Amino acid sequence: MNKLFNLKKSKINSEKIPNVPETEKKADIKKYVDQEGLTIKKLETGLWFVKNFKYFNYLFYGALILISIVTWPWFIYSFGHYVIVGMKDDNKLITDLIATEVNHEAVLSQKALPLQFGSLKSIKLSGNSYDFYINVTNPNEKHSAKFSYYIQTGDAKTGDGENFILPGDNKYLLILAQQLERSPINAEFYIDKINFERIIPKKYSDWQMFKNERMDFIINDKIFNPAKATILSEKLNLSELSFSASNNSAYNYYEVNFTILLKGITGIAGVNKYKAINFYSGETKNVNTTWPGSLGAIKEIEIIPEIDITNEDNYINFEGGAGEEK
């Protein structure tokens, strides 16, 4: 009986006692993943850097000390050498510079001298029209010049233009057919701008030969017919000039200007200009030009070719060989 009771009691007790769960496993922190991308490896690296920061400082200070040990002896040597030797050399150099005299004449020989201009002259044409001319001289044998100019007559400015002059040249500058309100008795010539260009010996080893080879023009058959002797004068009071110009140089030019001076008993009686276009080597051009009005007796005719031979844009280049136009 008691045995039966004990078995029943034991059965009841067994039903009331819950099962004891097994010990839970610990979390593996290395498998932790932060939602913002921070990993445990990065945290460990940062922690290691913080723990060892002082060693980085020691390394940096050591490098500075090493650099100082290497460079300071060289600095001390260089500074000492300058104090003992260099300062004496500097003082000697300054003394020599002060004692050296500048050759004033040599400096002046390299500087361009001003252009020389004669008196401005005028020739009355018909009505209020006037021609002007002025003589220009370049005293520099090693400088060419380009300049701009104008004429002042009272309050009016007229005849502005640009021109050039080669080294050592003497030429007449012509300003033609200017309409004026009054007689140009007090007209004055002014240079607005001027630019000198030195002749480079490397490029122009013999300037005179360079010039002669390129300015080889022959003027022939100069004939001047005064107004009363020309066919044109039956209706118009015109004088006429004809001449031939030959290009004996080996160079072709896009244009060649000719300055024409008609000289009478008392000096220049008439001036004019003629422009020959595409003037080839070996070519001869026949020219006819006219003047309004009577110029009186003409004793001499002077015709002067003008080309800026230093400007390469004035040349018609050859392609292939001589005689072939580009």
Average the pLDDT over 9-19 and give the result: 52
Looking at the structure, do residues 230 and 268 belong to the same domain, yes or no? Answer: yes
Number of domains, the chain: 2
Indicate the SS3 state at residue 57.
helix
pLDDT of residue 326: 42
Structural domain range at position 129: 112-204
Domain boundary among 155, 175, 204: 204
Q: How far apart are CA 284 and CA 219, in angstroms?
A: 9
Domain boundary among 204, 232, 259: 204
Q: Is the pLDDT of residue 209 over 60?
A: yes
Residue 44's CB is within 10 A of a number of other CB atoms, namely 11
Indicate the SS3 state at residue 88.
helix
Indicate the SS3 state at residue 105.
helix
Q: Is the pLDDT of residue 324 over 70?
A: no
Q: Is the pLDDT of residue 287 over 50?
A: yes
pLDDT digits (tens, 9 = 90+) for 53-108: 777 778 888 888 888 888 878 878 787 877 787 777 778 778 777 765 555 555 55
pLDDT of residue 10: 52
Looking at the structure, do residues 299 and 264 belong to the same domain, yes or no? Answer: yes
